[in-house]
C-alpha cells in the first residue's frame, strides 16, 4: 500500500502562505494534490497541515482531513522528519496499520505530474529499492562551478585536460529537486532519513518538472513554464 504524504503547513517565509499562493489561477498545493489523485500508483493521500484553510481546500478536492499537525511541528524551523513520524503514528492509530511505502510530495514542486509519480514508483518497485529520490541534470556543470577556499578558490570538479568544449563535458551530475521521495516505511522509521548517499536510487526527471517554488521569482518562473506547456 502506497501512501502519498503531503506536508503543507500554513506558514512560510519566502512567500506568505505559500501553499495557497496562486499559480496560474489555482492554489499552489492543488497541483501536487491533482498529480497524486491522477496517479495510478497512489492508494491514499495524507495531508499533514496545521492550517484550517488548507484542510478545507483539500476536503473540497475529496481528500479526507481528520489529522492536524501540532503547532510545535509546524514552525519555520521545524524539521520535517518528526512531522512525518507524527503523521504516520496518527495514521497507524486510525487505520490499525502503517503503509508499506511512503511517497513524500512537497507542494512546492507544482510541475511534477502523475506520470512522474507512476514512473518513479515503477522503478522503485522493479529495483526493490529501499528509497528513491527525484533528480534532474544540473544546469550549471560542476566543471564551471567554483568553491571558495582559505586564501583563494578552486573548481568544484576538475575536467580532463583534453576537454575544452562544453558539449564534451562528461559525468552524471544531478540535482536533488525535492519533487518526490519514495521510501519503504519500515526503513524510514528505522533510519529516520529519506535519503542515504550511495544507497538511495536516483530517478531522473525533466528539469522543468523539478522546479522548487520558494520565492516570488520562482513562482513567476513556474507560471511561465506552465504557460509554455499549455
Q: In this model, does residue 151 exceed pLDDT 90?
A: no
| CA proximity to 47, closest of 28, 71, 69, 25 | 69
With a threshold of 0.85, does the pTM exceed it? yes
d(CA 49, CA 54): 7
Do 99 and 202 belong to one domain?
yes
Determine the angle formed by the axes of helices 114-126 and 28-38, rounding to 10 degrees: 50
pLDDT digits (tens, 9 = 90+) for 159-176: 776 655 665 566 688 999
The pLDDT assigned to 168 comes to: 59
Do 30 and 130 belong to one domain?
yes
Could you tell me the CA-to-CA distances from 198 to 1, 45, 171, 176, 202 in Å, in that order?
A: 26, 29, 16, 13, 10
Q: For residue 9, how many other CB atoms are within 10 A of its CB?
A: 23
Could you tell me the CA-to-CA distances from 38 to 20, 116, 133 in Å, in that order?
A: 20, 11, 20
- Calculate mean pLDDT across residues 29-35: 97
Do 67 and 156 belong to one domain?
no
Q: In this model, does residue 217 exceed pLDDT 90?
A: yes
DSSP string across 57-112: HHHHTT--------GGGSSTT--HHHHHHHHHHHHHHHHSS--SEEEE--TT-TT-
Do 81 and 194 belong to one domain?
yes
pLDDT digits (tens, 9 = 90+) for 37-96: 999 999 999 999 999 999 999 999 999 899 999 999 998 888 999 999 999 999 999 999
Output the nine-digit C-alpha cell for 144: 564551471
Count up the domains in the chain and report the number: 2
Do 162 and 209 belong to one domain?
no
Residue owning grid cell 481546500: 57
Higher pLDDT, 212 or 155: 212
Do 18 and 85 belong to one domain?
yes
Its domain, for residue 6, covers 2-136+173-229
Q: In this model, does residue 22 exceed pLDDT 70?
A: yes
Amino acid at each position: 500500500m502506497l501512501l502519498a504524504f503531503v506536508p503543507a503547513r500554513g506558514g512560510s517565509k519566502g512567500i506568505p502562505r505559500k501553499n495557497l499562493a496562486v499559480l496560474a489561477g489555482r492554489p499552489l498545493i492543488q497541483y501536487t494534490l491533482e498529480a497524486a489523485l491522477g496517479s495510478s500508483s497512489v492508494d491514499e493521500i495524507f495531508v499533514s497541515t496545521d492550517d484550517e484553510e488548507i484542510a478545507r481546500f483539500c476536503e473540497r478536492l475529496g481528500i479526507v482531513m481528520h489529522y492536524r499537525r501540532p503547532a510545535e511541528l509546524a514552525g519555520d524551523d521545524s524539521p520535517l522528519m518528526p512531522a512525518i513520524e507524527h503523521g504516520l503514528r496518527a495514521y497507524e492509530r486510525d487505520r490499525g496499520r502503517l503503509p508499506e511505502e511512503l511517497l513524500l510530495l512537497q507542494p512546492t514542486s507544482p510541475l511534477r505530474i502523475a506520470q512522474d509519480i507512476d514512473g518513479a514508483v515503477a522503478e522503485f518497485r522493479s529495483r526493490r529499492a529501499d528509497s528513491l529520490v527525484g533528480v534532474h541534470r544540473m544546469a550549471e556543470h560542476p566543471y564551471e562551478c567554483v568553491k571558495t577556499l582559505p586564501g583563494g578558490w578552486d573548481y568544484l570538479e576538475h575536467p580532463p585536460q583534453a576537454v575544452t568544449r562544453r558539449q564534451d563535458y562528461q559525468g552524471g551530475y544531478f540535482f536533488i529537486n525535492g519533487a518526490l521521495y519514495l521510501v519503504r516505511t519500515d526503513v524510514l522509521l528505522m533510519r529516520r532519513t529519506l535519503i542515504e548517499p550511495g544507497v538511495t536510487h536516483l530517478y531522473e526527471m525533466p528539469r522543468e518538472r523539478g522546479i522548487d517554488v520558494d520565492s516570488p521569482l520562482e513562482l513567476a518562473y513556474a507560471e511561465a513554464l506552465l504557460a509554455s506547456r499549455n
